[in-house]
A and B are shown apart, each in its own frame.
Chain A
């Protein structure tokens, strides 16, 4: 069984919104049909997006950290939005686990959006059907593209490689290794939806410097202690000889 998914590394996301715009660009001109905008240059613009980057402040000043948080459909392994659909327009593909909407069957009743705790689904005001991230299903299988390009558009666009893409059911895939070794977690685990997309937590980069690393470990003068210990500011042997 294959379950394609994104793994988003919050440790390196810089909140540049490149994934948001590349997603919109690809999908508005792709087979999904236009992702319409309403009032785009007016006072209150709105439109359909599959992917958003939000920003949260963690902690209290001055001990705060800014976390940029990309948010899209998580392609749950047990998607609550699928069984509630009265027409079968919402479905989860057996072959790769992608949750999709058939825009020709959707009646725009919005019930699936109520059944998604993550708010991943949006009604397209122009087409009046429910839309959401397709994991660029019209891209990842496109054999006319180079293999390196057969990835979701957001993954290709990310300048910091904060977005990994692959099969989380394959234990050797880069995403599985990242989840396993970097503490990958799922959002709102309390609902039992088993999201396929995972997030990697922020990690503190700390260097532990041991005492002997500060001392002149290479200074032979101190090894037998025959001569007075040179001060820390004294030149080392490397500084005074050419060997």
Chain B
């Protein structure tokens, strides 16, 4: 497939935002149970939510560049019964709304006790919004990933690993960003967040390695024989019916030599996993620059990872477009 930068930025930006929100609410939950010190809520949760919101808006803006008719985008919310894309379009603004309200509750220090859980744990609006946001963050990961995973023709995507990796890689970049952000606003949480970032990055490495291993061993279901229905072992396309390009030759081919593909793969394998891990481990005790670098490197790696995710997918329609002549 041809990797579209609008979609690459959409999926990586909102993935990082979802991870960041999950990191914020994880820290809040630990703090509520007195497992972590209580940070400055206004600075850490409030401004952290603003940062997540900015990433989400950035992703949303990027997604509009993918559309031929962005002014009709409102129509995409109508077919949620059948289309994962439609579901994503509903869940994304819902998540943005909850992140906004969650941030607002912390920003305004609005913490009235709505009820008390057994054990004397007070529940305020931010806790309820946090739970709702967590559910929506995971729902959004599933929707985004299922857009790709539900396409059975694209064997490289049609796997539970696609969903797992969207969750893990979004989570990893979000927790790394949270660690860097905490280094500025809540230094007492840096170790906790960086620790989780390391764990999720390691899990992400496992998931992505598993999908690379799987994809390298796929056997295409469709062949030139089934594509044109002629049972002969030797079929060669002589013309595809035109000599200029067409949508079919632009949208479904990445157009890069194998060396570029391999280079991108090794770049993201380094930049998403070992480099941020090193930077996170060395910045765990408050190195702001190291943690910011960890996020920047990991995010750059994720752009490459997403590019490779698209480029590696081989669409069966390509069987019909092998020779210009």
Q: Which A residues form the contact surface with B (CB < 8 A)?
A: 17, 20, 39, 44-49, 52-60, 66-67, 69, 71, 80, 82-89, 105-111, 113-119, 121-123, 125, 127-129, 185-191, 199, 201-202
Contact = CB atoms under 8 A, between A and B. Distances in A.
B85 A20 contact: no
Contacts of A114: 1, 151, 154, 315
A191 B297 CA distance: 40
Given A49-B242, A107-B68, A87 B79 contact: yes
A87 B72 contact: yes
B216 interface: no
B76 A56 contact: no
B73 interface: yes
Given A114-B151, A185-B229, A83 B222 contact: no
A57 B236 contact: yes
B228 interface: yes
A108 B78 contact: no
A119 B89 contact: no
23 contacts: A17-B241, A44-B244, A52-B240, A56-B230, A56-B235, A57-B237, A86-B76, A87-B76, A88-B79, A107-B67, A107-B69, A107-B76, A114-B151, A114-B154, A115-B153, A118-B317, A121-B247, A122-B246, A122-B247, A123-B247, A129-B68, A188-B226, A190-B226
A84 B83 contact: yes
B324 to A, nearest CB: 11
Interface in B236-260: 236-242, 244-248, 251-252
Contacts of A88: 75, 78-79
B15 to A, nearest CB: 19
B235 A57 contact: yes
B226 A57 contact: no
Contact of B229 (A49, A109, A187): A187
Nearest to B252: A119
A195 B163 CA distance: 30
Contact of A108 (B67, B82, B321): B67
Among B1, B83, B224, B251, max chain A CB count under 10 A is at B83
Nearest to B152: A191
Given A86-B75, A116-B317, A128-B69, 5 more contacts: A44-B244, A46-B244, A58-B235, A82-B82, A86-B86
Nearest to A130: B68
A176 B236 CA distance: 30
Interface residues of B, number: 57
B232 interface: yes
Contacts of B73: 107
B235 A55 contact: no
B237 A107 contact: no
Given A49-B246, A187-B226, A54 B85 contact: no
B139 interface: no
Contact of A58 (B150, B230, B317, B320): B230
Given A107-B67, A117-B316, A191-B153, A58 B232 contact: yes
Interface in B301-322: 315-318, 320-321
B69 A54 contact: no
Nearest to B236: A57
A150 B226 CA distance: 32
A123 to B, nearest CB: 5
A153 B252 CA distance: 29
Nearest to B244: A45
What are the nearest 8 A-B pairs in CB distance?
A108-B68, A119-B317, A128-B68, A52-B241, A83-B82, A86-B86, A86-B76, A87-B75
Contacts of B217: none
B147 interface: yes
Contacts of B262: none
B151 A118 contact: no
Contact of B241 (A58, A71, A106, A191): A71
Nearest to B316: A117
B285 to A, nearest CB: 46
B227 interface: yes
B214 interface: no
Contacts of B321: 119
Contacts of A187: 226-229
A49 B238 CA distance: 19
Interface string B69-99: 1101101111100111110010000000000
Contact of B247 (A59, A113, A115, A190): A113
B248 A190 contact: no
Contacts of B78: 86-88
A58 B234 contact: yes
Contacts of B147: 111
A109 B89 CA distance: 12
Among B240, B252, B315, B317, max chain A CB count under 10 A is at B317
